[in-house]
Chains A and B, each alone.
Chain A
Amino acid sequence: MANTVIYAVYEDPEQLKDGARKLVSNGIKVKDTWSPFPIHGIDPIIGVTRTRLAIASFMFGITGTCLAVLGMWYMNIFDWPMNIGGKPSQALYKNFPAFVPVMFEFTVFCAAHGMSITYLIRNKTLPGMPARNPDPRSTDDKFIIEVRTADNHGHSTEAITSLLRTTPVFEINERQY
């Protein structure tokens, strides 16, 4: 038998959450959900782990701070120290207050752009990438649960759909893949 993917279409995020809860409590694995806006509280139900993007952002930010300090030390202290109004650029610690604004800006620059690029790559959203949502209505007003039979060997397609029918589902679509 070919593998079947079941799309349960809901009209409300709360109803989708009820449906997902019911599936999971019956031992059915939910592959993914598709929605026009974030469904708060769906992640723990279907087992989506927390993203580490914030940690990545912190790492990018720290890298930016270090690069800024290193760059300013090299350019204004080491390579070409300037004497402005009798106040020469002698040592990093003496010039430090004047270097703080650029350090801050460059930290933000690296944290923001590093995280954003990571985000786009991890989400597979880049110019020219194909859309993967199963139904064009999922970016408009429909909330969709995706269940694959390949993930749920103990349950038949009929059992899953009849379980879904006990929830306020709008429609159920099946597709072979």
Chain B
Amino acid sequence: MHSEAAIREPLILGHKTYHDITQDIVGPIENKAPRGWYVLITIAGLIALYGVGCIMYLLAKGIGTWGLNKTVDWAWDITNFVWWVGIGHAGTLISAVLLLFRQKWRMAVNRSAEAMTIFAVIMAALFPLLHMGRLWLGYWVFPLPNQFGSLWVNFNSPLLWDVFAISTYFSVSLVFWYIGLIPDFATIRDKVTKPGMKKVYGILSFGWSGNAKAWTRFEEVSLVLAGIATPLVFSVHSVVSFDFATSVVPGWHTTIFPPYFVSGAVFSGFAMVQTLLLVLRKVMHLESYITVKHVEYMNIVIIVTGSIVGVAYITELFISWYSGVEYESYAFINRATGPYWWSYWAMMTCNVVSPQVFWFRKLRRNLAFTFFMSIIVNIGMWFERFVIIVTSLHRDYLPSSWNMFHPTWVDAGIFIGTIGIFFTLYLLFARYFPVLALNEVKSILKISGESYKKEAAKHHHH
């Protein structure tokens, strides 16, 4: 067994045994949920129901109930889509990219981050479907033989690339998540005593037995899936950015978009992970597993990606002047000083200025402050998409068609509703699923556990 440098902070605090880890995670699933959980799911559920109501209203009345007009024909729907997809990037980044880099701290956070990814991508996919107006014809985006003759989807269009990117990303993330869950469901199956639960978790665990060859295959599959999911993560938000970058709209037609969108996605994704985990660790008593060090690591990712986003904003601004294209430079002057100036400056403050405070070690290890900042970043990243989309569209080449976008209550209701649906799904996950990757956390216990590290250090000092 390899040992870890004593100077590295432990990843599992206190003295834990393998059985303690099982107990800490499976116990809350077996027992009655804490009162706080019922309060939270009631609130989230009501918001979700309101959202579903708004969606029903939209489907019945049509897209005219949104605030879109002939000039701004894409607004909150696509803003919300990109926002949710961006949030959905952190889960696979944590589980795939950090697995390739052998980062052990991922093990305590990957399960819940991946769950977040899956729910966020579902919320994202909802918006293009709703914007089609006729939800039930959504399958037309796939290249299916049909009764209209040789009518195929257009593979030259970035919107179609997006269909492939999002559906691949969603299904691969789901499978990656579930394959990791199978051994943990088996742990629950073997632990619980209630026959009903035993049956359900027995089915969910697919009869996992954990023999040597099964674990060899498990590790190989995890590694290969991580290897192919890594370029997939980067491709997804690159493709999302192509939706804009391949058009000829000023402010969209830039080659910087793919890396800029990807780092923005990771930035917002990690912010949402922080929002969720800081609550989860408190409510589920996971302080020994999701430690201050984990939070600090994630804040470091936030400062790195946030700074990349900041550089991208400033590069964009510079190039709009340096290119000498007057439409391009007007688009940016209009963003900063036009009628939507407040959204531009909200974005700049939330995304560029505020994450820089994490250079201070005290602040990036402060949990309450991190929670506050994660909300700020979530807001800032929503405004980023709003700025890119609406300010570019509302004043394009023809001043005669300049217009403003005003959201209606249906716009707002559906957006808030998706937040409710997202939190409802996440709370159900936290209640019934193993929130930590049990098998992975156990595998690092004797290397990165606090008491074991201390023990090892004692043997080294003579």
CA distance A48 to B211 in the complex (A): 11
User: Chain B's nearest CB lies how many Å from the CB of A15?
Assistant: 11
Q: Which of B1, B156, B172, B202 contacts A108 (CB 8 A)?
A: B172
B338 within 8 A of A: no
Q: Is the Cβ of B206 less than 8 Å from the Cβ of A129?
A: yes
A86 within 8 A of B: no
CA distance A76 to B153 in the complex (A): 8
Q: Which of B18, B160, B206, B219 contacts A127 (CB 8 A)?
A: B206
B455 within 8 A of A: no
CA distance A98 to B1 in the complex (A): 49
Q: Which chain B residues border A132 with CB–CB below 8 Å?
A: 207, 209, 211
B152 within 8 A of A: yes
Q: Is the Cβ of B168 less than 8 Å from the Cβ of A109?
A: yes
A138 within 8 A of B: yes
Q: Which chain A residues border B179 with CB–CB below 8 Å?
A: 116, 119
CA distance A129 to B187 in the complex (A): 15
Q: Which chain A residues border B206 with CB–CB below 8 Å?
A: 120, 125-127, 129
Interface centre among A57, A61, A108, A122 (most CB of B within 10 A): A108
Tell me the total A-B contact number using a CB cutoff of 8 A: 202
B130 within 8 A of A: no
Q: Which chain B residues border A98 with CB–CB below 8 Å?
A: 155-156
Q: Which chain B residues border A48 with CB–CB below 8 Å?
A: 212-213, 216
Encoded as 1 (CB less than 8 Å from any A CB) or 0, chain B from 262 to 292 comes to 0000000000000000000000000000000
CA distance A116 to B216 in the complex (A): 14
A168 within 8 A of B: no
Q: Which chain B residues border A34 with CB–CB below 8 Å?
A: 209-211
Stretch in B73-81, B117-125, B231-239, B392-400 with 4+ CB within 8 Å of A: B231-239
Q: Which of A43, A105, A136 contacts B191 (CB 8 A)?
A: A136
Q: Which chain B residues border A80 with CB–CB below 8 Å?
A: 150-152
Q: Is the Cβ of A141 less than 8 Å from the Cβ of B22?
A: yes
CA distance A38 to B143 in the complex (A): 42
Q: Which chain A residues border B213 with CB–CB below 8 Å?
A: 32, 48, 51, 123
Q: Which chain B residues border A136 with CB–CB below 8 Å?
A: 190-191
Encoded as 1 (CB less than 8 Å from any B CB) or 0, chain A from 70 to 95 comes to 01100110011010100001000001
Q: Is the Cβ of B168 less than 8 Å from the Cβ of A50?
A: no
Encoded as 1 (CB less than 8 Å from any A CB) or 0, chain B from 445 to 458 comes to 01000000000000
Q: Which of A57, A104, A128 contacts B207 (CB 8 A)?
A: A128
Q: Is the Cβ of B235 less than 8 Å from the Cβ of A105?
A: yes
Q: Which chain B residues border A37 with CB–CB below 8 Å?
A: 183, 215, 439-440, 442-443
Q: Which of A113, A123, A139 contacts B171 (CB 8 A)?
A: A113
A42 within 8 A of B: yes
Q: Is the Cβ of B156 less than 8 Å from the Cβ of A43?
A: no
Of residues 22 to 39 in B, which have CB atoms within 8 Å of A's CB atoms? 22
Task: With CB as the reference atom, state the residue of chain A lying closest to B152.
Answer: A75
* Contact status of A123 and B214, CB under 8 A, knowing A108-B168, A139-B190: yes
B19 within 8 A of A: yes
Q: Is the Cβ of A140 less than 8 Å from the Cβ of B187?
A: yes
Q: Give the B interface residue count (CB, 8 A).
A: 67
Q: Which chain B residues border A46 with CB–CB below 8 Å?
A: 212
CA distance A79 to B149 in the complex (A): 10
* Contact status of A57 and B224, CB under 8 A, knowing A36-B18, A113-B171: yes
Interface centre among B150, B171, B215, B228 (most CB of A within 10 A): B215
CA distance A125 to B180 in the complex (A): 13
Of residues 162 to 188 in B, which have CB atoms within 8 Å of A's CB atoms? 164-165, 167-168, 171-172, 175-176, 179, 182-183, 186-187
A111 within 8 A of B: yes
Interface centre among B158, B206, B214, B231 (most CB of A within 10 A): B214
Q: Which chain A residues border B154 with CB–CB below 8 Å?
A: 76, 82, 84
CA distance A104 to B190 in the complex (A): 41
Task: With CB as the reference atom, state the residue of chain A lying closest to B175.
Answer: A116
Q: Is the Cβ of A54 less than 8 Å from the Cβ of B224?
A: yes
Task: With CB as the reference atom, state the residue of chain B lying closest to A97.
Answer: B156
Q: Is the Cβ of A131 less than 8 Å from the Cβ of B205?
A: yes
CA distance A134 to B217 in the complex (A): 20
Q: Which of B155, B205, B223, B446 contacts A76 (CB 8 A)?
A: B155
User: Chain B's nearest CB lies how many Å from the CB of A18?
Assistant: 11
Encoded as 1 (CB less than 8 Å from any B CB) or 0, chain A from 97 to 112 comes to 0110110111011011
* Contact status of A95 and B156, CB under 8 A, knowing A108-B172, A113-B172, A140-B190: yes
* Contact status of A43 and B186, CB under 8 A, knowing A95-B156, A99-B155, A132-B207: no
A selection of 30 A-B contacts at a CB cut-off of 8 Å is A34-B210, A36-B438, A38-B215, A43-B212, A46-B212, A51-B213, A53-B220, A76-B154, A79-B152, A80-B150, A84-B156, A95-B155, A98-B155, A98-B156, A101-B158, A101-B161, A102-B161, A108-B232, A113-B171, A115-B221, A116-B225, A123-B213, A123-B218, A128-B203, A128-B207, A136-B191, A139-B210, A140-B187, A141-B17, A141-B18
* Extra 12 A-B pairs, beta carbons < 8 Å, given A125-B205, A126-B207, A131-B186: A33-B211, A36-B18, A38-B216, A101-B158, A101-B239, A108-B172, A112-B168, A127-B206, A131-B209, A137-B190, A140-B18, A140-B19
- Nearest 10 Cβ contacts at the A-B interface: A129-B207, A141-B18, A136-B190, A125-B206, A75-B152, A38-B215, A105-B164, A101-B161, A80-B150, A37-B439
